Amino acid sequence: MTNDVTELLDALRDGRVTVDEVAQQFRTRRWPRRRRAEPTTFMELAARELEDPDPYIPGSFDDVAAAYHQKKITRDQFRILSEAVAEAQRAEDAVDQSELRATRS
């Protein structure tokens, strides 16, 4: 399945772009995430362990992890790209928190 993330990863693997160029793209995009409530009791935690893995989300970090596990990108590239995704998500979280504070005021 092709999406903007897999296309960038393919371009990186083929040498059409650098890891720094991909990382910059990753820092500026919005990443889909799974947002589930954290378990609050031991029973909820145990039940969560028995659940099936979360389904694949196209265009998410799932694609980056899959590329690494399929040896399409190196460990160093994976580390750089993972940090870029984390930076994007931290920036998104900061905006969300700022908007939440603004609505409470």
Percent residues over pLDDT 90 in the chain: 65
The mean per-residue pLDDT over the stretch 75-92 comes to 97
Q: How confident is the model at residue 105 (pLDDT cuts 50, 70, 90)?
A: low
pLDDT of 77 strictly over 80: yes
Own/partner long-range contacts of 80-83 (Cβ < 8 Å, ≥24 apart): 80/19, 80/20, 80/23, 81/19, 81/22, 81/23, 81/26, 83/23
In this structure, the chain runs to a length of 105
The mean per-residue pLDDT over the stretch 78-97 comes to 93
Q: How confident is the model at residue 19 (pLDDT cuts 50, 70, 90)?
A: very high
The mean per-residue pLDDT over the stretch 7-33 comes to 97
pLDDT (0 to 100) of residue 74: 98
CB 95 within 8 A of CB 37: no
The mean per-residue pLDDT over the stretch 4-33 comes to 97
